[in-house]
Amino acid sequence: MDLVRIILSVIIPPLGVFLKVGLGKHFWINILLTLLGYIPGLVHAVYIVARR
What digits encode the pLDDT tens for the residues 17-43? 999 999 999 999 999 999 999 999 999
DSSP state of 12: -
Taking residue 43's Cβ as centre, other Cβ atoms within 10 Å add up to 15
Is-contact 50 2, C-beta < 8 A?
Answer: yes
- The rounded distance, in Å, linking the Cα atoms of 29 and 27 is 5
pLDDT of residue 10: 93
What is the pLDDT, as a whole number, of residue 5?
87
pLDDT tens for 6-19 read: 898 999 999 999 99
At residue 43, the pLDDT reads 95
pLDDT for the residue numbered 4: 87
Cβ of 48: how many Cβ atoms within 10 Å? 21
